[in-house]
Amino acid sequence: MIPQTYDPILKYRKGVTPYLGGPRRPEPGTALVLERRDGTLDVVLPGERPAAATLRRGGYRASYLIDMSSHELALAVAAPSADGWSFNVTLRFTCRVVDPRLIARVRYRDMARAVRQWMNDAIRGVTVARKAVELAQVESDIRALLRRAKSPDGLELSSFFVSVSVMDSEDLVAARRAVAIEEMNRAARRAVAAGTREDMLAHMMAINGGDPTAFLKFEREMQEQEDKARLEATRLVLESGTLSAAESAYVSGLLLNQAMPWSSRTLRSGRIRDQIRNTLPGSVHNGLPAIEAADSPAKQDDDSGGQRPYDAHG
């Protein structure tokens, strides 16, 4: 298991004096920080000795043995998303002290706490621009940011591993499912909208249990609204008094052709006029108007018993 933190100050001593033989040389992977009486900090690296002159003048006020080796740490950060969810970011990384003076001056005893605020600021700057469903992109963005960012003062952070999840993941799964279904529905609706009237009718029947009533009603209402608007526009034009009689007749004819396309063909062929002229009340005989049926040769033959009238010249 990866440690959550570590203490970079391995040993702290007060009152280092020459009477005790002075401070020992630091071992590899450590550094010795000696605090003079005036507050100045001297650093002694492995293989080096502290300044003998300083020891003769009364020694040091304190000494700090600093851990300079690399440590792998784990850190969890809660960060908000762009759509109201919260990311749970788990970080694993390597931490190493590069400035032992700063560690002694600030007296860091908890390295995870020392880097947490820096991590929070860096990570939240990424997550607030991403939605909860963009987990892979959030991980990639955080990893890229940490690799190019400058480490906190006195430290070197490297070898980042980033894992991102979402709090209340069950709710997120449901939200993802809803988003996926909505995308599928939108794609289907786009296909229908770009299709024919038959495609739209089939779509409406599919979502209404096979009943086309809703679509047909909508289609009829739209047609009625269109006809009403056309009639109102025509009325305004005809009543404006700006058209001549011929122009008014022409406009009226156009409107009639649009409203009743069959009317112009019927009037031109004379069928309505002929039917009005030749048809009398009563039944139709052999497909002819009643008046024509009464004068037909077949009718005359029936009245004479099937014989031709006497012809004095025949």
Q: Does any domain span residue 91?
A: yes
Q: Does any domain span residue 274?
A: yes
Q: Would the pTM count as exceeding 0.85?
A: no
Residue 156 sits in a domain whose CATH number is 3.30.479.30
- Of 33-42, 167-176, 251-260, 271-280, minimum mean pLDDT range: 271-280
- Interval 16-70: pLDDT, tens: 654 445 567 788 999 999 888 888 898 999 888 776 655 555 668 888 999 999 9
Torsion of the alpha carbons at 53, 58, 61 and 63, rounded to the nearest 10: 50
Report the distance separating Cα 88 and Cα 214, nearest Å. Answer: 48
- Interval 90-130: pLDDT, tens: 999 999 999 999 999 999 999 998 999 899 999 998 999 98
Domain's final residue, options 170, 185, 206:
170
Question: Residue 123 is inside which H or E element, if any?
Answer: helix 111-127
Same domain, 42 and 119: no
User: How are beta strands 30-35 and 41-44 bridged, if at all?
Assistant: antiparallel
Same domain, 50 and 117: no
Q: Does any domain span residue 269?
A: yes
Q: Does any domain span residue 164?
A: yes
Total count of domains within the chain: 3
Report the distance separating Cα 111 and Cα 67, nearest Å. Answer: 11
Same domain, 36 and 88: no
- Whether 142 shows a pLDDT value over 90: the answer reads yes
Q: Does any domain span residue 57?
A: yes
Same domain, 58 and 82: no
The percent of residues in the chain predicted with pLDDT above 70, rounded, is 68
pLDDT category of residue 132 using cuts at 50, 70 and 90: confident
Domain's final residue, options 170, 187, 217:
170
Q: Does any domain span residue 156?
A: yes
Q: Does any domain span residue 306?
A: no
Domain that holds residue 29: 9-67
